[in-house]
Structure 1
Amino acid sequence: MQITDSVINLRVDEWLTPVFDTATQKEIKNLQDTNSEELKESFYKDLEFGTGGMRGVMGVGTNRINKYTLGKSTQGLSNYLIKQFAGEQPKAVIAYDCRHNSDTLAQVVADVFSANGIKVYLFSSLRPTPELSFAVRELGCHCGIVLTASHNPPEYNGYKVYWQDGGQLVPPQDGEIISEINALKYSDIRFDTNPDLIQKIDQEIDTVFIEQSVKNGSFAATQEAKDNTTIVFTSLHGTSITAVPETLEKAGYKNVHIVQEQAEPDGNFPTVKSPNPEEPEALTMAMELAAKVDADIVIGTDPDCDRLGIAVRNDQGELQLLNGNQTMIVMTWFLLENYKKQGFTGNEFIASTIVSTPMMQSLAQAYGVEYKEVLTGFKWIAKLIKDFPEQHFIGGGEESFGFMVGDFVRDKDAVTSTLLACEIVAFAKANGSSFYSTLLDLYTKHGFYKEHLVSLVKKGIDGAAEIKQTMVDLRNNPPESLNEEKVVLIEDYQTGIAKNVQDHTEHSIDIPKSNVLIFYTEAGSKIAARPSGTEPKIKFYISVQESLQTSADFTTVQQQLDGKIEAIKKDLQLT
């Protein structure tokens, strides 16, 4: 729906009524006088739930993160909880990260819950997102909230909602809760806190969470191997500093060097352009420290500690940054190997997302376990665990640097995954190999898959329209070939239909509908396009493959794959 200036003006007028506090009204009047474009951006739509919850710029207005937009969401969620769990005492647990206003916004959420008679467990200070997921089940809560904007810029904050199983909201709860929220007026929000229903928590959850992280992330490394492993870790000014160092210490790793300049939680993220471990620049200081201490592995986590980026020594002894797909492949292999030693029971599965490397499916086939594929977002992997209780989830991840070990946490978990990465390095080093050599060995056994991500930033109203039009154009005029390889299959997750271009047959896609297009070529290339659910971006995920006879051929074959990727980018006009 096209939002007119008159509709925006009506929204602005509503926010200038006594329902909203004087500070909010003053800020709106200031925007009216000085920045009409910012005023328009702030009110032209309501914040929406995406793949990672609700995320946006902080400020006044319906399209901003503030006490009223979060209050309204919490009021709607409260109404839903009271209806769904009639006769019970609904319980919620709340955590928050290092971002500006996260603590005060967390208190607002606690106030609204308590005003509606909901028991609240509120972490006394910042905590990692995976600990919140763990706490939901540990405390027997009906839902959980974490205030975070993950790796977005400093002006952002966000609101992730978790359900009873510890996973993020999925259908049908998400749609039902959104309907409750949309039915509310801002005047319906109850801010009159009941402090008797708010209980602060900290060490009692920290201790058991870290114990479980050590239990789930420890495998084959001996103490001697751990003693011979040197680790550099950076929290990138985020929450992981509260859990990762202690987890590594309790697991027996003593040679851990923390990047002190980035150890203090700080919502300005002063030493990095972006606190995103996907960006090589974010690990610059950690790489410099690693060179000084001759580290075997470098690990950096994002602000809410659900994703990790790593660098390991390559076959030349140089530190090499790995992408999310590469890390996921080695971690999954390591888990499968250890389960194989124990003996598979026949009900295990691993999981990944439709935009991640196809090599995950190859690994599953090689080990005789089931592979399940879902939409982007770990909430869908968590849903698999809930939907298939008779099966055992080994682990899995997605290309965007997230991984989950087992099911004690129901979201991507950089605490346990950090320990797992160190276990792999220690075990491989003790056996005359390395994390990197393991990756090359896997490429020779299962095929060399190489992935590349193109993210195009399109901000604001015009950007949203441009992203929408790009997807429309791709649907109406799909490419017939890419890199001179014929497109043979097109999967449209919005319609739920896959079309075989060669024989013109169609089949339905047994995955919830989403605005995603995937093109497959005759040579095995895979190209996915989707608007981001958490940022103003449209993303293109390119995967190409070749056989690799020996690890000595790696550089040559990698150059061939790089050439394929560049040709595909050119054909899609992404260069």
Structure 2
Amino acid sequence: MHIEKNILDKVNEWLTPSFDKETQDQIVEMMTTSPKNLEESFYKNLEFGTGGMRGIMGVGTNRINKYTLGKNTQGLSDYLKKSFPDEQLKVVIAYDCRHNSDTLAKVVADVFSANGIKVYLFSEMRPTPELSFALKYLNCHAGIVLTASHNPPEYNGYKVYWQDGGQLVPPQDEEIIQVIENLKYSEIKFDANDSLIEYIDIAVDKAFINSTIENASFNTSAKAKENLKIVYTSLHGTSIKLVPNVLANAGYTDVNIVAEQAVPDGNFPTVKSPNPEEPEALTMALALSDKLNADIVFGTDPDSDRLGVAVRNNEGKMQLLNGNQTMVVMTHYLLEQWKKSGKINGKQFIGSTIVSTPMMLELASAYNVECKVGLTGFKWIAKFIKDFPDLQFIGGGEESFGYMVGDAVRDKDAVGAVLLMCEIAAQAKEKGSSVYEELQQIYVDYGFYKEHLISITKKGIEGANEIKQMMVDLRENPLSEINGQRVIMVEDYQNSTAKNLLTNETETLNIPKSDVLIYYLEDGSKICARPSGTEPKIKFYFSVNTKVMDISEIPYAEELLSSNIQQIIKEMQLN
């Protein structure tokens, strides 16, 4: 097999004394037994995407290992010193349940300490939202969490947080990446200064639990809490460290944990994917809920930032809600609570993303608050909080099962979202309603929106090229009509343009550049194409809507909108 010279140059660098013998031995073995794997491991450098840097663990520049993460950390150390020249630098590090997360976290801590930076390192795995909270609580300059979220077991990752508790955003991200790219592996300082590494756990846990209860509790009666029957699964992840304690401290007593999935395990042995977006992931929790006749089911992903929810429908059967539905239910509830408390004065906002349901805009308008819409990823919602200090942030979410209540945490937070959904469910049950009925009433009041997502996986070098070509084709051969509806607007976030196809006028989009295309149809439908920033996938998002005058009309509307979505998919040849 022929391997390009630039790849061989990288391979040869990794065979120098800057790299340990075990690493060199693995490379030599790949050269003789698996040249294809060698090419995949070195053909590019791992890149920062929407959720930091994620990749398969192994040797090479395109893999997660002590050298790629060490280089990141050395670059970040250099950047911090330049950014805060006269301050004692402090960072906090957390990690999840994945294989090697604990050892990689220690490598990262070692490099920071070797650069004279004070490190707070969690003594055991902890949820990602606690890392965001701890960063501000401990007054740190930056934070790192070792996680690959819901990716398969062979993955790990590295997410960087800044002073405000949010993930890196422009201009820091590009500046730091430039520093990292200019580094040589031989410049990484691996020799730890253990006196600068302090282990943290219970004290920060208590502060985070108290903050969560304060932010996500809304005067639910003790009786209502006791009467809510909850089933919860951590899907072998980190949320088991906090969710049971949060619910117990908040007064929820009937919490039933899926025992088979309660033990943290990076193999995720009971699920195909530890992703609550996938219905299969909640199979065991749903079975337990039927056995116990529970009111609500929760499932969280490995690092506990995503939340899956199932509730009983009008026929008494458990029904999974999608991320847009849980976002709408939680946002509507928060807006109603703020309104009842007289706290809305036009200086508040909710947050969402360009691929999420347009229904968030309807809610904002109805409650006289702003809805700030950013690119995919909670770092953009966190950036809104930082960029608009005169506005109060109420809550916000995105379609990929993430939600953030208030601004104590600056990333999606399944711990706080679980408690908020319990408050909603307990209060609804107490008044003879349910979460499902509350959602249906929202549809009647604000319009029935239905969303659908298709993810197409394309792995490896060929896959990346195929995804790139699909986006090129969509740009060079734009659709003018879909499902009998004219395309009236095309937004291209890579070119920062919004073109009105009826008037031929083009406007500039004031959102950072990203490889995203959005089509708007004359009936209010919305179609978005976007390569994933964290997985080898291209994603297509569909949103359609119609008016319903009464809850009884929803089944018919559901059928109509489902048919519309399937027709759009067929015409775009995505099935």
Q: Distance in 1 between matches of 2:249 and 2:25?
A: 51
Q: Which deviations, in whole Å up to 9, do the C-alpha atoms of 1:511-533 show, x marking residues without a partner?
A: 11111000000000000001000
User: How is 1:279-318 mapped onto 2 (pairs within 5 angstroms)?
Assistant: 279-318=278-317
Q: Which amino acid aligns with 2:31?
A: Q
SS at 1:542 equivalent: strand
Report the residue type matching 1:180 in the other structure.
V
Find the counterpart in structure 2 of residue 549 from structure 1: 549
Please state if 1:429 is matched with 2:424. Answer: no
Whether the 8 Å CA contact 1:220–1:427 is kept in 2: the answer is no
Q: How big is the shift at 1:346?
A: 2.3
Q: SS at 2:291's partner residue?
A: helix
Give the distance between the partners of 2:260 and 2:432, measured in 1 at CA. Answer: 34
Q: For residue 57 of structure 1, report the CA deviation from its aligned partner.
A: 0.1
The one-letter code sitting in structure 2 at the alignment partner of 1:457 is T
- Residue 287 of structure 1, CA deviation: 0.3
Partners of 2:258 and 2:476 in 1: CA distance: 50
Are 2:90 and 1:64 equivalent residues in the alignment? no
Q: Indicate the residue corresponding to 1:176 in structure 2.
A: 175
1:21 — aligned with what?
20
Residue 413 of structure 1 corresponds to 413
For 1:117 and 1:97, locate their aligned partners in 2 and report how far apart those are by CA, in whole Å: 25
Could you tell me how far apart the structure 1 residues matched to 2:208 and 2:348 are? 24
Give distance in 2, aligned partners of 1:533 and 1:62: 18
Residue 144 (str. 1) matches residue 159 (str. 2): no
Partner of 1:243: 242
Residue equivalent to 2:381: 381
Per-residue deviation, residues 374-394 of structure 1 (Å, max 9, x unmatched): 000000000000000111000
Q: Deviations over 1:463-519 (max 9, x none)?
A: 000000000100011111111110000000011010000010111111111110000
The superposition leaves residues 47-98 of structure 1 with CA deviations (integer Å, 9 ceiling, x where unpaired) of 0000000000000000000000000000000000011110111110000000
1:332 to partner: Cα distance:
0.2
1:208-242 deviation line (CA, Å, top 9, x unaligned):
00000111111132111111100000000000000
Task: Give the letter for the 2:172 counterpart.
Answer: Q
Q: Does 1:474 align with 2:474?
A: yes
- For residues 534 and 294 of structure 1, the distance between their equivalents in structure 2, rounded to whole angstroms, comes to 37
Asked whether the equivalents of residues 232 and 298 of structure 2 are also in contact (C-alpha less than 8 Å), the reply is yes
The aligned counterpart of 1:186 is: 185
Separation in 1, partners of 2:52, 2:317: 38
Unaligned runs of 5+ in 1: none
Task: Kindly state the Cα deviation for residue 543 of structure 1 after the two structures are TM-superposed.
Answer: 0.2
CA distance in structure 2 between the aligned counterparts of 1:541 and 1:4, rounded to whole angstroms = 37
**Alpha-carbon distance, 1:126 to partner:** 0.2
Aligned-partner Cα distance in 2 for 1:39–1:461: 12
Equivalent-residue separation in structure 1 for 2:229 and 2:72 (angstroms) = 45
Q: Equivalent residue for 1:9? A: 8
RMSD: 0.8
- Aligned pair 1:49/2:48, yes or no? yes
Work out whether residues 300 and 308 of structure 1, in 8 Å CA contact, stay in contact via their aligned partners in 2: yes
1:45 positional shift: 0.1
Measured in 2, the distance between the counterparts of 1:535 and 1:220 equals 41
Verify: 1:77 aligned to 2:84, yes or no. no
User: 1:537: Cα distance to partner?
Assistant: 0.3
- Secondary structure in structure 2 of the residue aligned to 1:533: coil
Could you say what secondary structure the match of 1:394 adopts?
strand
1:401 aligns with 401
Looking at structure 1, the residues matched to 220 and 520 of structure 2 have their Cα atoms a distance apart, in angstroms, of 40
Are residues 1:277 and 2:276 paired?
yes
Residue type at the aligned position of 1:492:
D
Q: Which residue of 2 aligns with 1:39?
A: 38
Matched with 1:536 is 536
Which residue number corresponds to residue 362 of structure 1? 362
| TM-score w.r.t. length of structure 2 | 0.99
Alpha-carbon distance in 2 for matches of 1:245, 1:147:
23
Alignment of 1:70-109 (within 5 A): 70-109=69-108
Q: What is the deviation of 1:4?
A: 6.3
392-401 or 503-512, larger mean C-alpha shift: 503-512
Residues in 1 aligned to 2:248 and 2:481: alpha-carbon distance in whole angstroms: 52
How many correspondences in the alignment? 573
List per-residue Cα deviations over 1:275-296 (Å, max 9, x = no partner). 0000000000000000111100
Q: Distance in 2 between matches of 1:220 and 1:397?
A: 23
Instruction: Give deviations 1:431-485, integer Å, cap 9, x for gaps.
Output: 1111000111010111100000000001000000000000010001111111111
Query: C-alpha distance in 1, partners of 2:7/2:507?
Result: 43
Determine if contact 1:28/1:60 at 8 Å carries over to the other structure: yes
d(CA) in 1 for partners of 2:134 and 2:55? 25
Aligned pairs (5 A) from 1:150-165: 150-165=149-164
In structure 2, the residue matched to 1:348 is 348
Distance 1:220 1:463 in 2: 51
5 Å-filtered alignment, 1:316-331, equals: 316-331=315-330
CA distance in structure 1 between the aligned counterparts of 2:324 and 2:469, rounded to whole angstroms: 29
Aligned letter for 1:467? I
Alignment of 1:551-570 (within 5 A): 551-570=551-570
In structure 2, the residue matched to 1:489 is 489
In the TM superposition, structure 1's runs of 4+ consecutive aligned residues that sit over 6 Å from their partners are: none
Find the counterpart in structure 1 of residue 262 from structure 2.
263
| Partner SS, residue 210 of structure 1 | helix
Secondary structure, aligned partner of 2:396: strand
The residue type paired with residue 398 of structure 1 is E
CA distance in 2, matches of 1:83, 1:503: 49
Contact kept? 1:307, 1:402, Cα under 8 Å: yes
Distance between the aligned counterparts of 2:131 and 2:28, measured in 1? Answer: 38
Please tell me whether the aligned partners of residues 95 and 123 of structure 1 are also in contact (alpha carbons under 8 angstroms).
Answer: yes
* Amino acid of the structure 2 residue aligned with 1:387: D
Match of 2:70, SS state, is helix
- Which amino acid letter does the alignment assign opposite residue 155 of structure 2? Y
1:432-443 → structure 2 map (5 Å cutoff): 432-443=432-443
For the Cα contact (< 8 Å) 1:149–1:156, is it kept in 2?
yes
For 2:510 and 2:11, how far apart are their aligned partners in 1? 43
What is the letter of the counterpart of residue 481 of structure 1?
Answer: E
Cα distance in 2 for partners of 1:158, 1:548 equals 44
In 1, Cα distance between equivalents of 2:247 and 2:336: 22
Distance in 2, Cα, partners of 1:95 & 1:59: 21
Q: Which residue of 2 aligns with 1:523?
A: 523
Could you say what secondary structure the match of 1:282 adopts?
A: helix
Deviation at 1:572, TM superposition (A): 1.1
Rounded Cα–Cα distance in structure 2 between residues aligned with 1:482 and 1:34: 49
- Check whether the contact 2:3–2:39 (CA below 8 A) recurs between aligned residues: no
Structure 1: how far apart are the matches of 2:226 and 2:18? 60
State the AA in 1 paired with 2:251. Answer: G
> Retained in 1: the 8 A contact 2:95–2:146?
yes
How far the C-alpha of 1:345 sits from its partner, in A, is: 2.7
> Could you tell me which amino acid in structure 1 is paired with residue 326 of structure 2?
T
For 2:84 and 2:479, how far apart are their aligned partners in 1? 50
Per the alignment, in what secondary structure is the counterpart of residue 467 of structure 2? helix
Q: Is the 8 A contact 2:72 2:180 kept in 1?
A: yes
Alpha-carbon separation, structure 2, partners of 1:385 and 1:522: 33
